[in-house]
Copies of this chain bind each other. A is one copy, B any other.
Amino acid sequence: MKIAIYGYGNLGRGVECALHQNPDMELVGVFTRRDPATVKTVLGAPVYHISDLPSYKNNIDVLILCGGSATDLPEMTPAMAADFNVVDSFDTHAAIPTHFANVDAAAKAGGHVALISCGWDPGMFSVNRLYASAILPQGKDYTFWGRGVSQGHSDAIRRIDGVVDARQYTVPIDAALAAVRSGDNPELTTRQKHLRECYVVAAEGADTARIERVIKEMPNYFADYDTTVTFISAEEMQREHAGIPHGGFVIRTGATGKEQEHKHTIEYSLKLDSNPEFTASVLVAYARAVCKAANRGETGCKTVFDIPPADLSPLSGEELRATML
């Protein structure tokens, strides 16, 4: 399988590394809008300018799109799906139906397969919400995120006057997790589910009390949460907060029996040292599925909901049944 990467930030680097773990895949190269001479890849993959991509049209089985959801992917995925089988990690949940429609039209017109919104949420968490709700229709599901770095919230803090650097961790609250696992189907407020831990490097002489107040009162981002703000040095930030960990929990509790007398809990959880590298690993597994679907002659846009699990694996159906069933 010949794979190419478009976009080379944290996610693109993760895809490059993940491809090295999959011997049935070969990395054709990294395509970028930057000057290729300025891009150094982690494992030595060749770098090409995006303007060279059309000449690789017949030499790429799947193109993995590593742009951002805010501005890149809404344009990039439909454009690329016209000429390539593609996978993206579009994660703006509310905009998925529109994105799906745009990509589906382009992929069908071009005779290609596109898989959108892949990763872990949307992605593996979505698949687990679906399985659990289909199995336990009389139930309720809960998604918790963290403990992990929220890039969006970190950026929001960095935009505050007097802030040099910031890192925000989303933290699920243990009492809420316990209440959910008990099977009591609690109604939980935003504040009861997660708290937000902020580590901030302030500019010299900045008014830290003001910064703390601006963070805690920021609507949408922090106002609805219990938020802690800790000011640290740039050195401590570098030493203690350089990683991009994340994770979370999808829990569904439900009841069965003559009078719903038996309770059940289905829980799926992730604990990730590197959010972008794990997301990349999911994209790569689904790139294999996209390649198989294209080889079967399928076209159009798909999501993780449409992919049979077997298509993610390099093993044959026979091998899977003998070793994993």
A interface residues (Cβ-Cβ under 8 A, vs B): 14, 17-18, 21-22, 42-43, 93, 96-97, 100, 117, 122, 124, 126-131, 133-138, 181, 256-258, 261-274, 277-278, 280-282, 285, 288, 303-310, 312-314, 317-318, 320-322, 324-325
**Cα A257 to Cα B42 with chains together (Å):** 9
Chain B residue contacts of A267, Cβ below 8 A: 267-271
Number of copies: 2
Chain B residue contacts of A129, Cβ below 8 A: 324
Contact of A130 among B18, B134, B270, B310 (CB under 8 A): B310
Chain B residue contacts of A282, Cβ below 8 A: 135
**Cα A313 to Cα B262 with chains together (Å):** 22
A303-B321 contact, Cβ under 8 Å, with A272-B264, A308-B308: yes
Residue of B nearest to A13 (CB): B258
Chain B residue contacts of A138, Cβ below 8 A: 21
**Cα A9 to Cα B17 with chains together (Å):** 51
Contact B133–A313 (Cβ < 8 Å): yes
Contact A306–B310 (Cβ < 8 Å): yes
A131-B312 contact, Cβ under 8 Å, with A21-B256, A257-B277, A325-B126: yes
- Between A43, A258, A305, A314, the greatest number of chain B beta carbons within 10 A of the residue's beta carbon is seen for A305
**Cα A22 to Cα B134 with chains together (Å):** 9
Residue of B nearest to A259 (CB): B17
Give chain B nearest CB distance to A42 CB in angstroms: 5
A321-B17 contact, Cβ under 8 Å, with A135-B281, A256-B278, A310-B306: no
Residue of B nearest to A131 (CB): B309
Chain B residue contacts of A43, Cβ below 8 A: 258
Q: 13 extra interchain contacts, Cβ-Cβ under 8 A, other than A181-B271, A262-B274?
A: A14-B256, A21-B137, A21-B138, A43-B258, A93-B325, A124-B135, A131-B309, A134-B288, A134-B309, A135-B281, A256-B274, A267-B269, A307-B309
27 interchain pairs, CB-CB under 8 A: A96-B325, A122-B325, A126-B324, A129-B324, A130-B310, A133-B324, A135-B281, A135-B282, A256-B278, A256-B280, A262-B272, A262-B273, A264-B278, A264-B281, A265-B269, A266-B269, A266-B270, A267-B269, A269-B269, A303-B325, A305-B308, A305-B310, A305-B317, A306-B309, A307-B308, A308-B308, A309-B309
Contact B257–A17 (Cβ < 8 Å): yes
Chain B residue contacts of A181, Cβ below 8 A: 271
Give chain B nearest CB distance to A89 CB in angstroms: 12
Contact of A309 among B117, B130, B268, B280 (CB under 8 A): B130
Contact A306–B308 (Cβ < 8 Å): yes
**Cα A272 to Cα B263 with chains together (Å):** 7
**Cα A128 to Cα B312 with chains together (Å):** 12
Contact of A134 among B17, B274, B285 (CB under 8 A): B285
Contact A265–B256 (Cβ < 8 Å): no
Chain B residue contacts of A265, Cβ below 8 A: 269-272
Contact A313–B134 (Cβ < 8 Å): yes
Chain B residue contacts of A266, Cβ below 8 A: 124, 268-270
